[in-house]
Chain A
Amino acid sequence: MTFLEIVFYVFSAVLIASSLLVVTVRNPVRAALFLVLAFFSAACLWLTLEAEFLAITLVLVYVGAVMVLFLFVIMMLDIDIAQMRAGFANYLPLGLIVALVMVGELTLVMLSGEFGDAELPRPVGQPADYSNTEALGRLVYTDYVFAFELAAVILLVAIIAAISLTLRRRPETRYQAPEEQVKVRKEDRIRIVRMPSRPGEDP
């Protein structure tokens, strides 16, 4: 077994174990943290495929930003485990059917002959000066520029929609206006008063 294969099996084992723990562990915060571990292991697997840009971006976007926001929300939830487990038996048959259908679909796809060793040969290694980032950038900005721009526009629409859905104007809240604060001069705020320190004395 080569070093690369050892790395592959170690990270695959960690990935599978942590994905299982995401759905089985009781504590939601721990489940979210196992999801982080799963993302990280997946990124390491991509690194072994010489896809360093995708691997680092997975860590940057999902581990560094998305999961932080997930944790932010999950930590504030006060979840009652007993209440969540209620009705487990009722939902079990439906859950099993959905699970079986999904396993069946995946099996059909995998057995369709599109994923054999012949159809998907092992990728050949690239020379040391090959830049995965540059190759990806060229593809995204030339061949697939239309799809790329389309995705960007859809994301922009999603951002605007999310903001407009959650925007609440609250006139009673007093906001700071730094541009007004910067403009303030001494004359606007203080008044020098000359007054006698003793009655009858000239100021």
Chain B
Amino acid sequence: MIEALLTLWNELPLLLQLGFKIGAILLPLLGAVAYYTLAERKVIAYMHVRIGPNRVGPRGLLQPIADAVKLMFKEMIIPTHADRYLFLIAPILALAPALGAWAVVPFTDSLVLADIDASLLYVLALTSMGVYGVVIAGWASNSKYAFLGAMRSAAQIVAYEIAMGFALVGVLMAAGSLNLREIVLVQSGGIQQWFFLPLFPLFLVYLISGVAETNRSPFDVVEGESEIVAGFHVDYSGMGFAVFFLAEYANMILISALTVIMFLGGWHAPFAIAPFTWVPGIVWFLGKLAAVAFLFLWFRATFPRYRYDQIMRLGWKVFIPVTLVWITVIGVARFFTPIGHWFG
């Protein structure tokens, strides 16, 4: 049976095989995005001592589907004097990098779509392109609020990308490789080998920069509903709005996955002994991913929004010096201290 399926699989044309593989990553991802929105509403509701959505389906479980159907059938309004093509292309530019980056994410040792050599750089390059969707949307809407959102977004993302990049420099110094799969393989052998311990400041910087990069609360000045209505997507309705929504949540899941891969040991069990190693790697990976993704929701329910100047101060004056100092610490520790092996 399995061999018959394998021969059938090998006989398929290469493009069709690739299409199936891409579908096998993207369809569960989009499902996860849909239910992440429900999880967000439920988790925040319980943190607020509310119940949250509970009308559609048993315990509100069909709410994301109802939302999707509603958004699909709403009219998409293009504002007067908006730049029509850029207005329509902006949501696509926001979503495409968030999905494209999943091509190199290693789910387990063998489960990765494209095991390329510089996958860490590839991810960094693609996530840095996500800002175009926001900036173009803000400009093409021909609205002052949207434009303010776009300006804030451009400044914020440039600031935090540098801190994020420096945090990743620390990771690749410790791992000695730009390949995400090898970065996880270096962290094998239990929780004490995971990079979040030797690189703890970089771990914090990366996680917080990740929240800022995805424009999530408390760094959501780009949307800032109390100041600039809904920021860059104030003029979007229907599917345009839905695609921005998808992009934001897909980005959050991506940042969670990358945090797990680079700092929390990827698919490795926390203890390399019997009962833990029986659990398949993908379960560990998805479990850690869900735990990090939960943090995003927790932050949103906990912290008030940063003021714009506070965001800039944190990015430029705190995170960048911290990462630079820790990169030096890694280098010195590796070559001049007895615990150097711990740093890679």
Residues of A whose CB lies within 8 Å of any CB of B are: 27, 29-30, 33, 36, 52-53, 56-57, 59-60, 63-65, 68-69, 71-72, 75-76, 131-133, 176, 178
Closest residue to B139 on the A side, CB-wise? Answer: A75
Q: Which 6 A-B pairs have the closest CB atoms?
A: A64-B128, A60-B125, A59-B125, A56-B121, A72-B154, A56-B125
Is B147 part of the binding interface, using a Cβ–Cβ cutoff of 8 Å?
yes
Please report the C-alpha to C-alpha distance between residue A64 and residue B129 in the assembled complex, in whole angstroms.
5
B window 245-266: CB within 8 A of A: none
Residues in B with CB closer than 8 Å to A131 are 117
Is B151 part of the binding interface, using a Cβ–Cβ cutoff of 8 Å?
yes
Contacts across chains A and B counted by CB atoms under 8 Å: 74
Please report the C-alpha to C-alpha distance between residue A178 and residue B136 in the assembled complex, in whole angstroms.
34
The residue that B121 contacts in the complex, of A27, A36, A60, with Cβ under 8 A, is: A60
Is B205 part of the binding interface, using a Cβ–Cβ cutoff of 8 Å?
no
Q: A64-B161, A176-B309 are in contact. Are A75 and B150 (CB under 8 A)?
A: yes
A127 to chain B, nearest CB (A): 12
The residue that B154 contacts in the complex, of A36, A63, A71, with Cβ under 8 A, is: A71
Residues in A with CB closer than 8 Å to B122 are 56
B232 to chain A, nearest CB (A): 12
Is B155 part of the binding interface, using a Cβ–Cβ cutoff of 8 Å?
yes
Please report the C-alpha to C-alpha distance between residue A8 and residue B157 in the assembled complex, in whole angstroms.
32
CB-based contact B157/A68 at 8 Å? yes
Please report the C-alpha to C-alpha distance between residue A64 and residue B86 in the assembled complex, in whole angstroms.
18
CB-based contact A68/B310 at 8 Å? no
CB-based contact A64/B150 at 8 Å? no
Q: A65-B158, A68-B157 are in contact. Are A75 and B117 (CB under 8 A)?
A: no
Closest residue to B127 on the A side, CB-wise? Answer: A64
Please report the C-alpha to C-alpha distance between residue A65 and residue B122 in the assembled complex, in whole angstroms.
15
Please report the C-alpha to C-alpha distance between residue A11 and residue B151 in the assembled complex, in whole angstroms.
31
Residues in B with CB closer than 8 Å to A52 are 116-118
CB-based contact B121/A176 at 8 Å? no
Closest residue to A69 on the B side, CB-wise? Answer: B158
Q: A71-B154, A176-B309 are in contact. Are A60 and B128 (CB under 8 A)?
A: yes
The residue that A63 contacts in the complex, of B86, B118, B129, B147, with Cβ under 8 A, is: B129
Residues in B with CB closer than 8 Å to A29 are 83, 86, 139
- Per-residue CB proximity of B109-144 to A under 8 Å, as 1/0? 000000011100110111011011001100100000
5 interchain pairs, CB-CB under 8 A: A36-B132, A59-B125, A64-B125, A75-B139, A176-B313
Please report the C-alpha to C-alpha distance between residue A141 and residue B221 in the assembled complex, in whole angstroms.
41
Please report the C-alpha to C-alpha distance between residue A81 and residue B126 in the assembled complex, in whole angstroms.
34
Q: A133-B117, A176-B313 are in contact. Are A59 and B147 (CB under 8 A)?
A: no
Please report the C-alpha to C-alpha distance between residue A64 and residue B178 in the assembled complex, in whole angstroms.
19
Residues in B with CB closer than 8 Å to A57 are 121, 125
CB-based contact B131/A68 at 8 Å? yes
Residues in A with CB closer than 8 Å to B124 are 56, 60, 64
CB-based contact B128/A63 at 8 Å? yes
Closest residue to B128 on the A side, CB-wise? Answer: A64
Please report the C-alpha to C-alpha distance between residue A59 and residue B151 in the assembled complex, in whole angstroms.
21
Q: A33-B136, A65-B161, A72-B151 are in contact. Are A133 and B129 (CB under 8 A)?
A: no
CB-based contact B155/A72 at 8 Å? yes
The residue that A133 contacts in the complex, of B147, B158, B178, B313, with Cβ under 8 A, is: B178
Residues in A with CB closer than 8 Å to B313 are 176, 178
